[in-house]
Amino acid sequence: MTILPDLSDLIIEQVSVTNGVTVTVRAASPTACCPCCGTICQRVHSHSTRTLRDLPASGRPVHLKVDVHRFFCQESTCRRKIFAERFPSLTLPRVKFTLRLQEALREMGFELGGEAGARLGKRLSYPGSPDTILRLVTQDQLPTTPSPRVVGIDDWSWKRGLRYGTLICNLEDNRPIDVLPDRSVQTISAWFEEHPSVEIVSRDRSSEYAAAISKGAPQALQVADVWHIGTNLSESVQTLLARGLAEIRRGLQIQATPEQEPEETEPVLEEERRPARSHSVKLAQAGRRAQKLDRYEQMVELHQQGVKAADIASRAGIGERTVHRWLAHDSFPETRRRRRRPSLIDPIRALCDLTMARRVSYWLTALSRTHSPRL
């Protein structure tokens, strides 16, 4: 790593070190190339000083003061009469950061995002606001992969819970290739038709993706990705264990108190109830209830032995507030089914499709935060 950026086309005239480092430079060549017509020009119009920020040196900010010549373009047919000389190895036109500083900030943005990147940069004497860092990230070009062979596709959230697209990655170099606006069969199959080089596609178990790949890339082998296999396996094992635990409890009949139906504090309208739960969801609920009952019984036993609440929480693997709350009950506190809260869009819910209703709900929530006195 060099202390200074590439100054091969420049001459260093002065270096001053105070709280920061300032390097004064000027162009080595007396001529410059017109950016419009390419004519090499030497008639100087004027001078100006351009200040660039560079990577910090030992925690000190580094400034480059560049003496910039402005030239007359000598080509009579050129529409640019005057132009400022450029330094393509150092920076871009009308940018106040050197190329290598822009690259460093872009990497910060990719790793940390705008706000956290700017906070870290400030501590390390890197300039750049959160917006600047995000702009550098969005300006970065996706790598071009003309003939991808092994790709992976999955959901991409444009707005979580509201709008989803599809992210396509090249699995041979683990880089993104494209982001599609939605996850419809038509859009995805069209993409695969434009990329006939694809031989293997890794995907989740979505029937939409399966249909799109079969339509757009019938030659490709479809495989399940490792993450979804692991997730599905984990969910299946949890369900199996929950079912086994529930059956053991029923067989041993060790219920401390008779089962009680959850109390309904007030009547719930039929249309407010959630959709009926599937068999697997009910099994998972039974498993969670059995685990909770285990902890409750363990807590009661420890409490009767005189163990303090903090120690009970530590041994039973629950929070201390939960211990106090459960002790306040005379019996096992069953989980009540939650009622959906009234929403601002209830009056128009029947008029909208579900996606639009969620979008309206989002807008109204955002509006109510900024204009709450009006709503």
- Summarize as ranges the residues that interact with Zn ion (CB under 5 A): 34, 36-37, 73, 75, 78, 80
Contact 312, 303 (CB under 8 A): yes
CB 28, min distance to Zn ion, A: 21
Closer Cβ to Zn ion, 43 or 160, answer by number = 43
Kindly calculate the radius of gyration of the chain based on its CA atoms and give it in whole angstroms.
Answer: 32
State the pairing for strand pair 163-170/221-224: unpaired
Closer Cβ to Zn ion, 36 or 248, answer by number = 36
Closer Cβ to Zn ion, 67 or 75, answer by number = 75
How far apart CA 306 and CA 300 sit, in angstroms, is: 10
CB 87, min distance to Zn ion, A: 18
Alpha carbon distances (Å) from 213 to 165, 208, 223 = 16, 9, 11
Closer Cβ to Zn ion, 37 or 180, answer by number = 37
CB 32, min distance to Zn ion, A: 10
Pick from 43, 28, 94: which is nearest to 73 by CA?
43
Looking only at Cα atoms, what is the longest distance across the chain? 100
Closer Cβ to Zn ion, 78 or 360, answer by number = 78
Query: What SS3 class is residue 274?
Result: coil
**Helical (H) or strand (E) element with 82:** strand 82-84
DSSP classification of residue 9: T
CB 78, min distance to Zn ion, A: 3
Structure tokens at 100: 């290598």
CB 177, min distance to Zn ion, A: 39
Closer Cβ to Zn ion, 72 or 362, answer by number = 72
CB 27, min distance to Zn ion, A: 18
Closer Cβ to Zn ion, 76 or 278, answer by number = 76
Contact 39, 81 (CB under 8 A): no
Closer Cβ to Zn ion, 36 or 327, answer by number = 36
DSSP classification of residue 317: T
Closer Cβ to Zn ion, 34 or 318, answer by number = 34
CB 66, min distance to Zn ion, A: 22
Residues β-bridged to residue 168: 153, 178
CB 37, min distance to Zn ion, A: 3
Alpha helices by DSSP H, 38-80: none
Closer Cβ to Zn ion, 75 or 103, answer by number = 75
The alpha carbon dihedral of 215, 218, 220, 223 has a sign of positive
CB 80, min distance to Zn ion, A: 5
Structure tokens at 66: 């560049």
Question: What is the phi-psi region of residue 59: left when phi exceeds 0, alpha when psi lies from -120 to 50, beta otherwise?
Answer: left
CB 68, min distance to Zn ion, A: 17
Alpha carbon distances (Å) from 209 to 39, 148, 172, 206, 217 = 54, 18, 20, 5, 11
Contact 106, 136 (CB under 8 A): yes
